[in-house]
Structure 1
Amino acid sequence: MLTLAQAQEKPTVKSDSLQIADSIPVKKDRYGLRVGVDLFKFTRGFYDKNYKGIELTADFRWNKKYYLAAELGNENKTTEDDRLTSNSKGSYLKAGFDYNMYENWLDMENIISIGLRYGFSSFSQELNSYKIYNPNPYWGELAAIPANQEFNGLSASWIEVVTGMKAKMFNNVFVGFSVQLKTLVTNKKPEGFDNLYIPGFNRTYNGSFGIGFNYSVTYFIPLYKKKVIIK
């Protein structure tokens, strides 16, 4: 009889366990799409007469630490040096990912990231004028020779390592910057000339090395949330 009474007793939940469960802090991470513009390229044309360009940026939060990222842009750059004047113009696309190394607390959504991109550019080059090198300029420097040669159908691709940060200024608006270190994978050059500036890649240093910088303002479009239990 005693055994039957014990079997009919309902299991009880300790109040201490409920209090511990209720005391565990819970936050909700927002997931969605962030879109914006590179202010560095957008404003450069106001003070640099040899440059016009724009770059649109976007990223999508894939999970807690990883973001899918892409940049789409167009550039028109005139290069002037002691020997020649040339112009490069075209469009480019970069795609890859960012890894957020910053551990946010509660409602913070800041990012300190390192990432990787694969870039592709389609562009044209125009040689406007050049000077023939004269090792013995006894009669002075030779005048620039007009060229007006245009080379179409050029392309280049590269891989770049990106490091940067994004800080939430106010609701859904972020300001950030990044630095890119790039190396060329392919480079279709015009015959008898070189690609001195590649849209999206920037100037070419030592043949295949390039650097880049951007300063962006982006807007976050939240799509859904995930609960995170803070240990």
Structure 2
Amino acid sequence: MDIEENRALVARARVHAALGEPARLAIVDHLALGDASPGEIGQRLGLPTNLLAHHLKILDQAGLIRRRQSEGDRRRSYLHLVPGALAGLLPAPLRHAPRVVFVCTHNSARSQLAAALWARTGSVPAVSAGTSPAARVHHHAVAIARRHGLSLASARPRHLEDVLRPDDLVVAVCDNAHENLGDRLGGVDRLHWSIPDPVRAGTGTAFEHAYTDIAGRIDRLAPAVHHPRKK
């Protein structure tokens, strides 16, 4: 066995060891389709703070998760799975919803790109909306969509209140929207993707990074969302 093969084997063993504890596996399962803050994870799984910190440290050392500071409440951070870290080991927790609603604050970039990408991949319909819609879709979002064979020419920002239905699956693609919504959606099924705002940077590169991040997440989520009336 050469050095590179041994390094790969050690890295794989570290991942398997990290996933060999039920609580850590539950954390990874929870992060499979969306991001969450440590507090949200602890509350969801009923883990005390010290034990949660221990499990997160092990998952981080195994290269499975990363933290990203919230762009909304800077005191918060969100955990997300490292793309490709599980390479086929990741289960696909099923979600049943007749429609997916992608939400960001202004509905001018990330949520519009997500809905357009979903239309090419998902098996259920999707729309986008904002918690404080802008006047128009950002020109960089239109350009990056065109570059990847999508069209946002007819897209218009809309308010979430004008779009949302009780049985929708809501995917917040920005920290501000996720935090502003809080518990206001009641029992509506929700996911959160902590995707940096490309409008802040205002560059084509930032929009390309956002597009790539969204595309990878949709590839994971789309096979797991089924219409409740379809077998």
TM-score (norm 2): 0.20
Q: Which has the higher strand share?
A: 1
Q: Which has the higher helix share?
A: 2
> Whose radius of gyration is greater, 1 or 2?
1
TM-score (norm 1): 0.20
